Amino acid sequence: MMGEVNLHGVYFSSVLAAACLAGLLLLIARRFFLWSGFYRLVWHRHVVDLAIFTIFWAAVARVLPVLADIVGKSL
């Protein structure tokens, strides 16, 4: 997944786009974890955040090309 994303004429790496989307998902997940009290069950909160960010980043990297194909076919 080493493509580029065109945002109004400015090209960004697709890896950067996937990382930003994963970061947004992590912010939402952290809010939920704080609300639910999940962080009281883990030993080191920041390590858990890093692991969840890595999982989100890998998932987004796998899904973005599929979404790009779907959007490309519909246009």
Confidence tier at 2 by pLDDT (50, 70, 90): low
Residue 8 has pLDDT above 90, yes or no: no
Asked whether the CA dihedral 34, 38, 44, 48 is positive or negative, the reply is negative
Residue 7 has pLDDT above 80, yes or no: no
Partners of 10 in beta bridges: 7
pLDDT in tens, 22-67: 999 999 999 999 999 999 999 999 999 999 999 999 999 999 888 8
| Spans of all domains in the chain | 4-74
Q: Report the greatest alpha carbon distance in the chain.
A: 48
**Average pLDDT estimate for 9-15:** 84
Encode burial over 35-49: b for 16+ CB neighbours within 10 A, e otherwise.
Answer: eeeeeeeeeeeeebb
